[in-house]
Structure 1
Amino acid sequence: MSAPSSPHSSHAAAQPLSIRASGPLRGEVAVPGDKSISHRSLMLSALAVGTSQISGLLEGEDVIATAAAVRAMGAQAERLGPGEWRVSGVGVGGLLQPTQALDMGNSGTSTRLLMGLVASHPITATFVGDASLSGRPMGRVIAPLSDMGADITPAPGGRLPLTVRGLYPAVPIRYTLPVASAQVKSAILLAGLNTPGTTTVIEPVPTRDHSERMLAGFGAQLTVEPTPEGRVIMLTGEAELKPQTIVVPGDPSSAAFFAVAATIVPGSDITILNVGLNPTRSGLFAALRAMGADIEEVSPRTVGGEPVADLRVRHARLTACDPDPAAAPSMIDEFPVLFVAAALAKGTSRIAGIEEMRVKESDRIATMAAGLTAIGVSVEELPDGLVVHGRDGEPFAGGGPIATRLDHRIAMSFAVAGLHASAPVEIDDAAPIATSFPNFLPLLRTVGAAC
């Protein structure tokens, strides 16, 4: 199958952004639905027999790419209203041959997880993406899926465009993750759904566990056991998934930007509503509290098997941090905005053990180092992290334009930095923010930001 060019491959026209300090941030915000849970809700609903209802779905470009892909493989995914979706599944084993390449836009999660779905079905699918996604290596998911029998042909360097020829019946494997990755774990488990026998994944370092929680919720036979070698996850294949009613909690990765903003801007007091606090995802809030942040959990509750609370965050003076690398998987997407917090702390923060950040939407270590330097922060780049010399609350100098490298989290992190800067912070392109948080800038304005 030939791979047509992706409509996302040349990014839309750049949207420069200037953001400046505007005084205290006040009020309530409701962040979009959790991105990880949104992706998985669509995929597992597409494999269930019957109709699932989803509310609170994140409607950023990444999740919409997943919705389009499951439609292309036979599921019916219908938007009923803002965040409200109805999905009629084809059943495990029932995916249909897509008639054209699956355009993943900028979404690495969509790509890796859907590769797992296709790998154990007797279909062939070609994955394409934008320039940023096409530069990201897929080798760590290609290896286990190939062990299961899928025939995968990537572009040079294990990159997109990439074609997966699934095998049925696929071969169950026992696989120890060489690098902590929820995406690789999830791809193997999703492939295991249509694989006879038991598929086993061993996690030496725990990663976000939304896939395990949701697979069990949909009726898959799955066990998770702590052992000396790590978490052992065993899935019995040829599953029959039952449709569900899913309420997606607010995304902690999106909430992180407002938590840091309220922490660093003097006089601020923000409540972030309905935030998912899954312990495999909430490392950023623990790190901020260790630095002295004032974060209060209000009305803690459980929604759909996930812990949720409202977070009240007030301005606080921060001290430097040296986070445990073992906690990195629980906050891997939040390190860019943690660097911003560290840059305003008292003392020097050494944040290491996060080499995974070099293969995200951009090389986030190098990109953040360059951007922080441009707004007056002294940093030292490490192979696996950054040393950040804090300014003890002194505003950033401002400046730019900051190169975001088509990375939504870089753009949002420097927007937050601009809220406590002596001069405006200029960002070269805010357009990528739409991939995960389409209403980020309007929400910032509602609590008093000037952007």
Structure 2
Amino acid sequence: MIFLPKTRSNFQCLEFDRVSPDKSLSHRSIIFSFLTQGRSEIENFLDSQDTYATLQIAKTLGAKVQKKNQRIFIESPKEIPQQANLQCLNSGTTMRLFAGLLSSKSGQFLFDGDKSLRQRPMQRIKTPLELMGASISSPYAPFVLRGNSQLRGIEYHSEVSSAQVKSAFILAALCANGESKYSEDELSRNHTERFLTHLGAKITHLQNQICISPLTCLLPSYKIKIPNDPSSVMFLVVACLISSCVELKVSQVLLNPTRIYAFEILKKMGAQLDYEVVEDGLETIGNIYVRSSELRGVEVSTHLSWMIDEIPALCIAMACAKGTSIIRHAQELRFKESDRIATMVLNLKQLGIEVGEFDDGMEIKGGEFQDGVVQSYGDHRIAMSFALVGIRRRIEVRGMECVQISFPRYFEFLKFFTDFKE
């Protein structure tokens, strides 16, 4: 069902090209340059608070960074300082991936973040990195990482399916002595493996286990154009679905299979949604087409690690659907910028939606939103999700400034949908 604009005369047609560059790839395009030789070029880098933290830490560690004509050029330092204070702001990706990278460097590195990041668990990287030979002073930030230039390769199973934990392990294992193996119960998002394998790193898969061979030399520099972030596009897709008579096309979207599972859930709910692949290299990139649709309830219990950032927006779609939706095995939501299970439940109830809370998820009965006031709890995904309610009702979301963390231009795009409401 790939359709083009103006297929229906009574539909408003929207087409977006530049939305919001992918946050995951923006982080990685900076951090992975420390494993390369030469100058790398990054086009369409996300300009947000989270990625700013990663870029500033790269400079603190000695990387040469130049911005020119909407591009970033970065060259890794020949030597990394023996001591550094690294401020990660709100970014768990920044903290965990740089910890993995620096675990093989002799020196002491103080990691810290904002109030929210200080509450997020770091034991999940502390355990494997210490088994390899590094040292982390605390299971929560602030902590001191003491690196070890003689890391040992290990075999490790993570109790948590997390791309951040896996990426930290991979970055350490690439600089260890001997092969390492990493497994998790459910395959998490795979940007790190795809990116580094594309550059020549030896990382092989066997079901839910990956084998990492140490680098024998630096990887080559790279050029990358960051596509649109499916986690950000998700909010525009839901906006279209719950609007009346709107068709939407978003171009140049990252279509990595581990990033578009939330869209597949929407399709199970009855969403008229389709993809068109236009490029399949370092990552799969293409276009997304969607049309306002009547949604129905659905049960979700698998691949939660593939849509941990999209579930808040998915909950808004569930609240607008006919019937009851259930989310289970999503306990990881409790360890994000807020406890997203608790904050979604509180806000949905505040707006008149019938919702039940489980330890690992929630049950949402579709209904009609009431006008109301809700809190963002400092969580950008919560803030953006409840802003969607404004398409249907009068809504105030307090603490919207946190949207700057991942999608600074969000309200520019959301305005198109609120202008169309009847």
Q: Distance in 2 between matches of 1:276 and 1:296?
A: 14
Question: Does structure 1 residue 232 correspond to structure 2 residue 210?
Answer: yes
**Structure 1 residues 382-397: aligned runs within 5 Å:** 382-391=358-367, 394=368, 396-397=369-370
- Equivalent of 2:326 in 329, 350, 365: 350
Contact persistence 1:28–1:447 (CA under 8 A): no
**Structure 1 residues 68-79: aligned runs within 5 Å:** 68-79=56-67
**Structure 1 residues 107-146: aligned runs within 5 Å:** 107-146=91-130
Moved more, 349-358 or 305-314: 305-314
- Equivalent of 1:398 in 356, 362, 371: 371
Contact persistence 2:239–2:417 (CA under 8 A): no
Cα gap change, 1:245 to 1:304, in 2 (>3 Å): farther
Q: Distance in 1 between matches of 2:211 and 2:48?
A: 30
**Structure 1 residues 225-304: aligned runs within 5 Å:** 225-226=206-207, 230-298=208-276, 300-304=277-281
Percentage identity across paired residues of the two chains:
36
Contact persistence 1:203–1:232 (CA under 8 A): no
Contact persistence 1:246–1:304 (CA under 8 A): no
Partner of 2:413: 443
- Equivalent of 2:72 in 82, 85, 90: 85
TM-score (norm 1): 0.88
The AA in structure 2 aligned to 1:33 is P
**Structure 1 residues 42-441: aligned runs within 5 Å:** 42-82=30-70, 84-90=71-77, 94-99=79-84, 101-154=85-138, 158-226=139-207, 230-298=208-276, 300-323=277-300, 325-391=301-367, 394=368, 396-400=369-373, 402-421=374-393, 424-441=394-411
The AA in structure 1 aligned to 2:37 is V
Contact persistence 2:101–2:172 (CA under 8 A): yes
The AA in structure 2 aligned to 1:350 is I
SS, match of residue 292 in structure 1: coil
Contact persistence 2:21–2:227 (CA under 8 A): yes
Q: Distance in 2 between matches of 1:197 and 1:233?
A: 11
The structural deviation recorded for 1:196 is: 2.0
1:254-280 superposed Cα distances (whole Å, 9 cap, x missing partner): 010000010011112121121111011
SS, match of residue 326 in structure 1: coil
TM-score (norm 2): 0.93
Q: Distance in 1 between matches of 2:199 and 2:206?
A: 19
The AA in structure 2 aligned to 1:247 is K
Structure 2 unaligned runs (5+)? 1-9
Cα gap change, 1:127 to 1:78, in 2 (>3 Å): same
Contact persistence 2:243–2:292 (CA under 8 A): yes
Cα gap change, 1:326 to 1:150, in 2 (>3 Å): same
The AA in structure 2 aligned to 1:275 is V
The structural deviation recorded for 1:447 is: 5.1
The structural deviation recorded for 1:450 is: 8.8
Structure 1 unaligned runs (5+)? 1-22
Contact persistence 2:254–2:284 (CA under 8 A): yes
SS, match of residue 346 in structure 1: coil
Partner of 2:5: none
The structural deviation recorded for 1:74 is: 1.4
How many residues get paired? 411
The structural deviation recorded for 1:216 is: 1.1
Q: Distance in 2 between matches of 1:235 and 1:251?
A: 30
Q: Distance in 2 between matches of 1:60 and 1:40?
A: 14
1:301-332 superposed Cα distances (whole Å, 9 cap, x missing partner): 22542111211211000000101x22212111
- Structure 1 segments, 4+ long, off by >3 Å, are 23-26, 446-451
The AA in structure 2 aligned to 1:388 is I
